[in-house]
Structure 1
Amino acid sequence: MESGPSAPPKNLLRYHRTKKLRLDGTHIPQVLTEQSKQCLKRLSAYRAPKQRMAYPRSRLAAVLVALFVGRKGDLYVLLSRRSASLRTYAGDTSLPGGRVDAGDRSLEDTARREALEEIGLPHDRAKVPLLCVLEPFLAAELIVTPVVVLILDNTLQPILNAAEVSSLFSHPLASFLSTSPPFPKEPEMAEVMYHRYWDFEADGPDADKKAFRAHQFLTGREAGGIKPVIGLTAAMMIRVAMIGYGRPPEFEINPPNAPSTEERIAWALLHRKVFLEACEKEGIDLGVARRIAGVDENGKRLPGRHRKEELRQDKGRGKRRQAKL
């Protein structure tokens, strides 16, 4: 095991500090709409809730949500089309990102390194300052954290890694809260809804079925072969837009009685082979994950009162640990 100052930290979520972003032209020379100003203020002030569970480092990943100011002062996000030659999710619309490397000292480092490798976005905090780091999301075999940055230098030119990215384009951030497209529809797409969603079921305690929802947004470039924003990428963009604009979307994010993202991650840690093996290899205690998922060591449902008491105890212990620090 590595030790000393060069050893990577165990908890990557502790290594994020954002500097106050000035919107008076000192940091952002572009003209901003008032809505964009407030959006950037909220994002730069955002602090993700403290994570109660420990996550296996080998299953961590991060994506870069790179925002920039458009000509009319609105905010846009950079999206990429994955290469058709990739083994997984070939041709999908996505955000630059990937798994944590051994040398990454934070999830911000991971997201920035991947963005440099995939689209040539420089690892320059003066030109591309950090706004915030969100809470993690669950993918099939990874726990993915969005890292939100702002591109201040609009003269930066992308350098695409053709092995991973075939094209780069942008989409209005506010449109991830809307059911109306931010672009005129092509005739062949006239009957296709800009925003759609699908509900799925997953296993829960005592063979219960828990529902969750996947969203999709058209990009306006489908006629050219660009796929819609869907699934995990759509969920993360909805969350960024909600934080930034301080309002809910025009649609219901989750079905009734859906588990929280934290509960879904806890259940995955306990029941998906890749997570279980990683937790065992890295010596991660799954006691908190069991209580969040509402099950005991045998996988049986905890009584409601017992479960709530356990969670209150976890929160109390976390506050006491924070006070000692």
Structure 2
Amino acid sequence: MPKTIPRTTNQLKYHRPKIAWNSGEARIPPLSRESKRCLRNLAAYRTPKPRLKVPRSRCAAVLVALFVGRHGDLYVLLNRRSSTLRTYAGDTSLPGGKADTEDRSIEDTARREAFEEIGLPKDRTKVPLLCILEPFLAAELIVTPVVVLILDNTLRPILNADEVASLFSHPLVSFLSSNPPFPSEPDTLEVPYHTSYEITGHERTISTFRVHQFLTGREAGGIKPVFGLTAAMMIRVATIGYAREPDFEVQAPNTPTTEERIAWALLHRPAFRAACQEEGIDMKVARRIVDAFQKKQGARKRKERLERPRREAKL
């Protein structure tokens, strides 16, 4: 794949604050107290032991690459996907992709994809691992976020133009807030920085969940908001790092957990079901998780039916 930056494109202009990719110094700016706590929390985080076994052929990873801005705050690298891609063209995303047979771990997958897409070195001394989060469910993939910290600010991004159109950054802490971290542009004054809505699947499914969106402040330049899966991952990273909940509700009441949604997908979505059969994965645990959720939902609905006449009588 080509790994060249067009001569007419100045990649540095997409950073706010700018990363010193081309400077001769490898020092990062002094960390703020909040950033130090955030990095300690992320480095100490360990995912619970998973109950579900998922097919490797349906696994993917993204790299959440953090760096320190000039005022000591933490930023995450995001990219604008190429407009020529067949799926999610032009979307704002994290570098990542499906696991290859050569990848020894999900961390290797995330690092390889980031190297291929934005030229971020796989060197673990320059870009050390902070933590690996629980997997998230995409349409036909199970995606694991791998969180790293860029220590060497002399690194220069090399964009694969076939996959990535541009690279920019966004404050990590802003994924916990409804207020924008940037001055509002004229074109976005009437649009809230953070919005969300619920997606409800067929009544046979348990796929109802809340989708979040965050403006980037670059919409006038064609950059799309941080949306859907990417937004959900960034909310989770920020929540763990800053050890506090967002000032908005992440999920609606009675929403299935990610584990419950993955279990349902393994049982009912054709791509997952075929992959599980091909890899000989036992589905007993997935069935138990889905059955328990449906039983819980049934009990809740029965309780609501019983309580409805009482509430109406009080009115």
Give the TM interval when normalised to the shorter protein.
Answer: 0.7 to 0.9
- Name 1:13's counterpart in structure 2: none
- Name 2:21's counterpart in structure 1: none
- For 1:171-210, list aligned pairs within 5 A: 171-203=170-202, 207=204
Which blocks of at least 5 consecutive residues in structure 2 are unaligned? Answer: 1-25, 299-315
Q: What is the identity, as a one-letter code, of the residue corresponding to 1:197?
A: S
Q: Please state if 1:226 is matched with 2:256.
A: no
- Once residues 303 and 66 of structure 1 are traced to their aligned partners in structure 2, the CA distance between those partners, rounded to angstroms, is 38
- Kindly state the Cα deviation for residue 30 of structure 1 after the two structures are TM-superposed: 2.7
TM value normalised by structure 2 = 0.84
Q: Please state if 1:249 is matched with 2:246.
A: yes
Kept in 2: contact 1:83–1:163 (CA 8 A): yes
TM value normalised by structure 1 = 0.81
- Name 2:106's counterpart in structure 1: 107
Pair 1:123–1:303, CA change in 2 (3 A): closer
Give the RMSD, CA atoms, in angstroms: 1.8
- Name 2:41's counterpart in structure 1: 42
- Once residues 175 and 238 of structure 1 are traced to their aligned partners in structure 2, the CA distance between those partners, rounded to angstroms, is 9
Cα deviations by residue, 1:42-78 (Å, 9 ceiling, x for unpaired): 0000001111010000000000000000000000000
Cα deviations by residue, 1:58-110 (Å, 9 ceiling, x for unpaired): 00000000000000000000000000000000000000000000010100000
- Once residues 296 and 95 of structure 2 are traced to their aligned partners in structure 1, the CA distance between those partners, rounded to angstroms, is 42
Structure 2 counterpart SS, 1:198:
strand
- Once residues 278 and 169 of structure 2 are traced to their aligned partners in structure 1, the CA distance between those partners, rounded to angstroms, is 40
Identity of aligned residues (%): 69
- Once residues 304 and 85 of structure 1 are traced to their aligned partners in structure 2, the CA distance between those partners, rounded to angstroms, is 43
- Name 1:149's counterpart in structure 2: 148
Which blocks of at least 5 consecutive residues in structure 1 are unaligned? Answer: 1-26, 306-325
- Name 1:164's counterpart in structure 2: 163
Aligned residue-pair number: 273
- Kindly state the Cα deviation for residue 303 of structure 1 after the two structures are TM-superposed: 7.9
- Once residues 187 and 58 of structure 1 are traced to their aligned partners in structure 2, the CA distance between those partners, rounded to angstroms, is 45
Instruction: Show structure 1 runs of 4+ deviating over 4 A.
Output: 300-305
- Once residues 177 and 303 of structure 1 are traced to their aligned partners in structure 2, the CA distance between those partners, rounded to angstroms, is 30
- Kindly state the Cα deviation for residue 198 of structure 1 after the two structures are TM-superposed: 1.1
- Kindly state the Cα deviation for residue 155 of structure 1 after the two structures are TM-superposed: 1.1
Q: Which has the higher contact order (CA 8 A, sep 6+)?
A: 2
- Name 2:256's counterpart in structure 1: 259
Q: 195-204 or 91-100, which moves further after superposition?
A: 195-204
